[in-house]
Amino acid sequence: MLVHTKAIVISALKYGEADLIVKLYTLSDGLRAYMLKGVLKSRRGKFKASMFQSLTQLDIVANHKNTGKLEYLKEAKVIANYQSLHTHPVKQALVMFLAEVLKNSIREEENNEALFHYLEYSLQYLDATEKVANFHLLFLLQLTRYLGFQPQNSTSEAEYFNMLDGVFQEIPTNDYCIEGNTVDLLKNLLGTEFDALSSIKLNQASRTDFLKMLLLYFELHIEGFRKPKSLGVLNEIFG
């Protein structure tokens, strides 16, 4: 079936000497993988390797056979010309990290328009903003809404957050109930949008602890989720 759709690059893996296998999250059909033959050596081909940098937003025409195997990409063009996402050193590290999280989180070969539009908007916001220190924390937290395990958005005074059930509660009931500053920050961020992030001041320890909690939360709710290899780089930058 010939499909014309928007897509976001999740990953690109070199295959052989000149080929790429790229995974795209498409608006029409969810996650799809494509083989691009000769793209790393051809100077005259219709595809350039630079078009498939992580989290690039594309407009594509593809032939989807829906067999679970590699699909065929006929046309592609970049539709969101990022100004800083792939050139700013800190944003480059964020892109690497976020792409890994998405690769480990999104498995469905079916459309999810709300998730696609969230990624589309948030990446354009990251490209445009100068204040990025806490972006990844809110990005991951809001991502849980579209993946189906968003924490209970509660104004409760309950001191504990149960990561297994995603709820706040008065007493701990398992080994995955947490308390303290991380829970306070979670409650705060649950009511925050990207444009209000600059009002939240975090020190190194708070940021590190909260990210550690978020990644464990993903592990608990996504089978086979692995911590991103780029986490170490991100921790060096943001602490």
- Verify that 196 and 113 share a domain, yes or no: yes
Rounded CA gap, 159 and 124, in Å? 35
- Provide the residue range defining the domain that includes 93: 83-239
- Verify that 108 and 146 share a domain, yes or no: yes
Could you tell me the pTM of the whole model?
Answer: 0.93
10 Å CB burial of residue 152 (0-12, 13-18, 19+) is middle
Q: What is the CATH number of the domain that holds 21?
A: 2.40.50.140
Domain count, the chain: 2
Q: Which of 81, 113, 133 is the last residue of a domain?
A: 81
10 Å CB burial of residue 163 (0-12, 13-18, 19+) is buried
Residue range 211-233, pLDDT digits in tens: 999 999 999 999 999 989 998 88
Nearest-10 crossing angle of helices 89-105, 135-147: 20
Residue range 174-193, pLDDT digits in tens: 999 999 999 999 999 998 99
Q: Which residue has the tokens 């189906």?
A: 148
Residue range 104-116, pLDDT digits in tens: 999 888 899 999 9
Residue range 55-107, pLDDT digits in tens: 999 999 998 887 778 999 999 999 989 999 999 999 999 999 999 999 999 98
- Two tokens at 150? 């968003």
Rounded CA gap, 17 and 150, in Å? 42
- Verify that 77 and 87 share a domain, yes or no: no
- Verify that 55 and 152 share a domain, yes or no: no
- Verify that 124 and 238 share a domain, yes or no: yes
User: What's residue 150's pLDDT?
Assistant: 95
Q: Is the pLDDT of residue 154 over 80?
A: no
- Two tokens at 108? 């469905």
Q: What is the CATH number of the domain that holds 173?
A: 1.20.1440.120
- Verify that 71 and 102 share a domain, yes or no: no
Task: Count other Cβ atoms within 10 Å, centred on residue 4.
Answer: 11
- Verify that 76 and 126 share a domain, yes or no: no
Q: If you count them, how many residues does the chain have?
A: 239
Report whether 55 contacts 9 (CB < 8 A).
yes
- Verify that 29 and 69 share a domain, yes or no: yes
Residue range 16-39, pLDDT digits in tens: 889 999 999 999 999 999 999 988
- Verify that 119 and 231 share a domain, yes or no: yes
